[in-house]
Amino acid sequence: MKLSVRGEYALRALLVLGLHYDQSVVRIQTISEQQNIPKRFLEQILNDLKSAGVVESRRGVSGGYRLARRPEEITLATVVRHIEGALAPVSCVSERFYEKCTCPDESRCAIRSIMKEVREAIVKIMERTTVATLCERARLLQHEAVSPFDFSI
């Protein structure tokens, strides 16, 4: 799995929406500025997430976006599959986006066997990680003390 810029921006937008879950909506301008995402591109991504039922929007002067479900209910796997497609590193090990291998014998392919293990590890992490988990991690990292001796020359 390779996360594209679109996929990364989608997760970053959901992070902002998750961190502001207690608000009625978050303006697209706010998300754009906080995460340094081009506004036009962000609009497309949020519309895509809206069609997936991950976010909802309110139009007008006081409009914006919010999560359609609680942050604990939205897994990164759901979002990445919607934006990117397969979580698998190669299509011959994907359960949802399977495509036949070009190797001579798929059942005895050592590369495919390893890539299947990689896919299982990715799926396990992405399925258990939610927007709430992402928000919790962001909060922890924000409060992490920076060592006064942490510098480079």
Average pLDDT over every residue of 51-74? 94
Give me the domains of the chain, ranges plus CATH numbers: 5-132 (1.10.10.10)
Q: Which residues contact 32 (CB under 8 A, 6 or more apart)?
A: 38, 39, 42
pLDDT one-digit tens code per residue, 33-50: 999 999 999 999 999 999
pTM of the model: 0.86
Q: DSSP letter for 147, please.
A: P
**Distance between CA atoms of residues 44 and 6, nearest Å:** 9
Kindly report the number of other CB atoms within 10 A of residue 119's CB atom. Answer: 19
Per-residue pLDDT tens digits for 81-138: 999 988 888 888 888 888 888 888 888 999 889 999 999 999 999 999 999 999 999 9
